[in-house]
């Protein structure tokens, strides 16, 4: 159920509707928009009777939402969501660039990449302290020591930190050191973790699962939002197919479709999406061209020595060139360039 307020509804009327929803034992999610506020109703098992709300002051209409996801849906909120971290944004006109190594390996390795990321003008730095590895014998990340290095990067370079947590204890730790919490592809349907992320004050970067449909991915976002955290960024990072020329198949058709269904910002990870150095830049260009709100790019000063995902890491100068190119594409695509 979606309760749409009239354009001139007052804050008191919105509060009264929220109270009426809560009195029925449901949860209310007010979403202010440019033209009107809509209030999502969740927590109901069956259908909710629209007449409960339609008679309340300031209510324009109450609409049944037939899609399985509600809060992520464009039906609820017509204005595109912009996630703000300090003065940096994901989802506005500016293309968000999130770059850094796959894993935090050492202070020196991290700082070398961070300096290049800062120089490129990107606002966000990525790097895993907790790494979900296929083999239990592979490098698992530095854990809290890695997060401390990331906190130093934030201090030294003014970059916002995007980093993964694999479990609830990890979320507690990332909340102490990071700015955006990444939920990795392997955890996209870890529902306990999603609910914990929904109670976090950090924005969530939610990667698409290795074999997730768009509906499953959006429902994972719905888990986070249903707990009250509305700052969700979706990330397309490729899915498993029969292809042998790439690590994953980057599903760029997902971008316009997600933007048709949801108000959430969506970024693309061409590093995991291809797994191969020479494909990262071409697919990054394409991602921007199909409407991605940002990119997440793995970068290493010495990819051949990387402890994790070296084959897909860009060298510093490759990364610098990529940023130059994707910014030009993004600028060519902003509406201003059509009217100018």
Stretch near ligand PEP under the rule CB under 6 A, chosen from 53-61, 92-100, 179-187, 284-292:
179-187
> Rule CB under 5 A: is residue 293 a binding residue for Mn ion?
no
Nearer to ligand PEP, 132 or 282 (CB): 132
Q: Which CB, 62 or 165, lies closer to ligand PEP?
A: 165
**Token pair listed for 62:** 């109450």
| 185 binds, options ligand PEP, Mn ion, none, Cβ within 5 to 8 A by partner type | ligand PEP
Considering the complex, state which of residue 121 and residue 132 has its C-beta at the smaller distance from ligand PEP: 132
Using rule CB under 5 A, residue 269 touches Mn ion: no
Q: Out of Mn ion, ligand PEP, none, which partner does residue 184 contact, by CB within 5 to 8 A per kind?
A: ligand PEP
Please state, in angstroms and rounded to a whole number, the distance separating the CA atoms of residues 37 and 28: 12
Size of the site for ligand PEP (CB under 6 A): 9
- Asked whether position 105 contacts Mn ion by CB under 5 A, the answer is no
| Cβ-based nearer residue to Mn ion, 27 or 186 | 186
Binding of residue 128 to ligand PEP (CB under 6 A): yes
Applying CB under 6 A, among 38, 39, 59, 102 the residue interacting with ligand PEP is: 102
Instruction: Answer yes or no whether residue 146 interacts with ligand PEP by CB under 6 A.
Output: no
The 3-class secondary structure across the chain, one letter per residue, is CEEEECCCCCHHHHHHHHHHHHHCCCEEEEEECCCCEEEEEECCCCCCCCHHHHCCCCEEEEECCCCCCCCCECCCCCCCCCEEECCEEECCCCCEEEEECCECCCHHHHHHHHHHHHHHCCCEEECECCCCCCCCCCCCCCCHHHHHHHHHHHHHHCCEEEEECCCHHHHHHHHHHCCEEEECHHHCCCHHHHHHHHCCCCCEEEECCCCCCHHHHHHHHHHHHHCCCCCEEEEECCECCCCCCCCCECCCCHHHHHHHHECCCEEECHHHHHCCHHHHHHHHHHHHHCCCCEEEEEECCCHHHCCCCHHHCECHHHHHHHHHHHHHHHHHHCCHHHHC
Q: Does residue number 102 form part of the binding site for Mn ion (CB under 5 A)?
A: yes
Distance in Å, CB of 58 to ligand PEP, minimum: 43
Residue 195 touches which of Mn ion, ligand PEP, none (Cβ within 5-8 Å per kind): none
- For residues 271 to 300, the per-residue mask of contacts with ligand PEP, x marking binding by CB under 6 A and - elsewhere, is -x----------------------------
Which residue lies nearer to Mn ion by CB, 71 or 299? 299
Nearest residue to ligand PEP by CB is: 184
Binding residues vs ligand PEP (CB under 6 A)? 102, 128, 132, 184-186, 207, 237, 272
């Amino acid at each position: 159920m979606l309760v749409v307020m009239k354009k001139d509804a007052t804050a008191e009327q919105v509060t009264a509707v929220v109270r009426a929803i809560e009195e029925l034992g449901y949860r209310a999610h007010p979403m202010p928009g440019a033209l009107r506020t809509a209030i999502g109703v969740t927590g109901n098992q069956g259908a909710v009777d629209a007449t409960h709300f339609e008679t309340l002051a300031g209510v324009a209409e109450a609409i049944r939402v037939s899609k399985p996801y509600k809060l992520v849906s464009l039906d609820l909120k017509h204005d595109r969501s912009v996630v703000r971290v300090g003065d940096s944004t994901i989802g506005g006109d500016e293309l968000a660039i999130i770059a850094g190594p796959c894993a935090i390996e050492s202070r020196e390795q991290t700082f070398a990449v961070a300096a290049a990321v800062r120089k490129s003008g990107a606002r966000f730095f990525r790097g895993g302290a907790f790494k979900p590895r296929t083999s239990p014998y592979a490098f698992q990340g530095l854990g809290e020591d890695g997060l401390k290095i990331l906190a130093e990067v934030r201090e030294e370079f003014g970059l916002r930190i995007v980093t993964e947590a694999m479990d609830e204890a990890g979320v507690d730790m990332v909340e102490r050191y990071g700015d955006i919490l990444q939920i990795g592809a392997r955890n996209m349907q870890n529902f306990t973790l999603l609910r914990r992320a929904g109670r976090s004050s950090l924005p969530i970067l939610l990667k698409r699962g290795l074999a997730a449909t768009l509906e499953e991915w959006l429902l994972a976002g719905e888990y986070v939002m249903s707990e009250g955290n509305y700052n969700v960024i979706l990330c397309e990072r490729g899915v498993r197919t029969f292809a042998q020329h790439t690590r994953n198949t980057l599903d760029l058709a997902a971008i316009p479709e997600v933007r048709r269904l949801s108000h959430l910002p969506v970024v693309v990870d061409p590093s995991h999406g291809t797994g191969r150095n020479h494909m990262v830049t071409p697919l990054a260009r394409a991602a921007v061209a199909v409407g991605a709100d940002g990119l997440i790019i793995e970068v290493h000063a010495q990819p051949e020595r990387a402890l994790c995902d070296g084959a897909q890491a860009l060298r510093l100068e490759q990364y610098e060139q990529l940023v130059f190119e994707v910014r030009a594409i993004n600028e060519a695509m902003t509406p201003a360039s059509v009217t100018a």
